[in-house]
Chain A
């Protein structure tokens, strides 16, 4: 049986919207400025003017006027199964497109259900606007039915938020919300609109041009003095490393970073969110740094005499113990947000501004330097460590998660848009799927939100119609938001889901194995039959238990017209290697048993006695 959404003849579908082209639609859309409209209509007038093509939401009492008005507007609404899904979808849409993602929910529980997705967007600087209904303004503060102070709740997890009690303020609030969300260091903005403001009428006014907010003046242009200091350090460095983060992707600076690295002949290490910001196959790409980064990457950072951090924020997952981090290195920090400067790592030359602008200014003044000794030293340190565990393991007929990701990479020609969840599979994805282009990996890095992947992939699907979207998710995280399979079915869109099913909450199990005496408390997890679950949603599913089936199944999945769920039954007690324990020195890594480094056994375990974070 196919689930058919109720026909809404007045509303163009998402497909036709795209086909017609947004610009044409906007020009043919009637200009209703100066007319008296309801607040609810003004919400949609404003969203159309912000070029919103799709919103993700769930109706309810306090937002019903807005939903009622929606039908007349050329914006596609995706009905989610839980509001957390709506905020993750808006997030995925934004990450995949670079545009502002929009989610919408009612007051009280609708609004609080958005919170996890809003916090996820905040920690990863994702431009998002969340619109919530609120009880009528006269009832504010009375503990009315479904009343929650959502602007208070989201104060620390939004870039800014608005409580709108008057219809005449709606357009301005939405316009400012979009501007704040997408400019400077992007982030989520919540607009909470009282029900009576949605119902009241007023003249619709929309100011064109740039928004001016007297207290909000992001810094885009770096100081020349700081650039000069950086150039002097770059010229003098013998063992420099570029640390590239998500800022590269957000400011669309990949081409400049490639030119910069090539000209100055400096190797590039990437953060998790930076993957794709510098081509994986580029000879200067070292790979991912940090807790599960390859040994030679972290060793290069520890040995370097200059770190050039570009659009990254020295998260504790990439630095390890701060006191021993890159002790011989001077540090240059190119960063949009001045509050990140000297927050975790004290730097020598801060460059506050847009990454692209800064690289453009630096590029003409960097000169080729012979750094062959440094490159040789890094390559030499690869040694046994360069041999990834996937290749060291003989094919015993068992299915390792690393096999799945590696073969997924091969069978998709490395061109998929992968949305990963959080945990072991996320790290294996980062290690084995080689991302060549920006926005080809979406993942919750800062907040580490399990349940992110499936809804975020739905959002990404709406942003990138032609992309080969793959969800890589664990059996735990998948069950957190698996209800959104129903959304996929109702929207009749295609996403490929690869469940890395090991029967454990794998990353926690790994920590229990390493740091908590192997006591697997609350980590074994029973799952439903994922193939049947897919079929219950009128989707197709398959189960894979051996390596020989992986590539064929991936190819089969890609050929299916609709969403496919693949249950990969992988080794149950595999771990992610190498691992820098939380709070340990960055070059003090746990390695897979049996690997050797410099001819000695590499299963050195620096901290077996404690699982405590520093």
Chain B
């Protein structure tokens, strides 16, 4: 989506969304992104240490205006507690992948060396295959998958991004009126 003035500065943006752990919450969020034509790159949901509160990490391709509208539209969902865009904040952002590679015994050492370069771990081995587990950025995983292609990838599964800003965390759960700063 481009902004009202037509300039496109779409970049991948990362949102942290705290939601009440209630039935249908994921559906509500996903439906919002679909009907407002926001392009989801990845969406991850999981529990947090706080009972009843789940956390989503949503990566969306959007320009600045669209990003603000995504935030405001998420807040319109009654079950959404907090939304933080951390695209421009120092943060840790990770994806995880499991890659099953065809590896004959004589090439095992070679693949393990590659794994080491990408900080991947070998988590399973059979007479003809190995499973590598890798955690890191989208690019790192893509890089490893690229190198392993020449051996033959039998299966691959990948999570979306999970992200957390560095440093101290702003307090959550203020229940007063939202004061909106859109400028």
Residues on A close to B: CB < 8 A? 151-152, 155-156, 159-160, 163, 180, 212-221, 223, 225-226, 322-323, 337-339, 341-346, 349-350, 352-353
Contact = CB atoms under 8 A, between A and B. Distances in A.
A322 B4 contact: yes
Contact of B19 (A215, A216, A226): A215
B155 interface: no
Contacts of A159: 76, 78
Which DSSP category, helix, strand, loop or mixed, fits chain B's interface? loop
A323 B27 CA distance: 35
A163 B23 contact: yes
Contacts of B182: 338, 341-342, 350, 352
Interface in B125-182: 173, 175-182
Interface in B19-71: 19-20, 23-24, 27-28, 31, 35, 65, 68-69
The 6 A-B pairs with the shortest beta carbon distances in the complex, nearest first, are A339-B72, A352-B180, A338-B72, A346-B4, A160-B78, A217-B178
B65 A156 contact: no
B80 to A, nearest CB: 5
Interface residues of B, number: 34
A350 B28 contact: no
A138 B65 CA distance: 45
Given A223-B180, A226-B183, A344-B4, A156 B72 contact: no
Contact of A156 (B3, B31, B80, B181): B31
Given A156-B31, A217-B176, 5 more contacts: A217-B177, A219-B180, A339-B72, A339-B73, A346-B3
Nearest to B79: A215
A214 B180 contact: no
B101 interface: no
Nearest to B176: A217
B81 A214 contact: yes
A215 B77 contact: yes
B6 interface: yes
B56 to A, nearest CB: 13
6 contacts: A155-B24, A214-B173, A219-B177, A323-B6, A341-B72, A345-B4
A48 B175 CA distance: 29
A225 B5 CA distance: 24
B3 to A, nearest CB: 7
A10 to B, nearest CB: 37
A163 B22 CA distance: 11
Contact of A342 (B4, B6, B28, B177): B4
Nearest to A333: B182
B75 interface: yes
Interface of B: 3-6, 19-20, 23-24, 27-28, 31, 35, 65, 68-69, 72-73, 75-81, 173, 175-183
Contact of B27 (A155, A225, A337, A344): A155
Contacts of A342: 3-4, 65, 68-69, 182
A346 B65 CA distance: 9
Contact of B20 (A156, A214, A218, A322): A214
A215 B27 contact: no
A216 B80 CA distance: 8
Contacts of B180: 219, 223, 338, 352-353
Nearest to B82: A215
A217 B175 contact: yes
A346 B31 CA distance: 25
Give the interface centre of B4, B19, B81, B177 by most chain A CB atoms within 10 Å.
B4
Contacts of B20: 214-215
B30 to A, nearest CB: 10
B67 to A, nearest CB: 11
Nearest to A342: B65
A323 to B, nearest CB: 7
B180 to A, nearest CB: 4
B45 to A, nearest CB: 15
Contacts of B75: 215, 338-339
Contacts of A223: 179-181
B92 to A, nearest CB: 26
Most chain B beta carbons < 10 A, residue from A159, A225, A343? A343
Nearest to A352: B180
A216 B68 CA distance: 18
A156 B73 CA distance: 12
A212 B175 contact: yes
Most B CB within 10 A of own CB, among A156, A160, A338, A350: A338
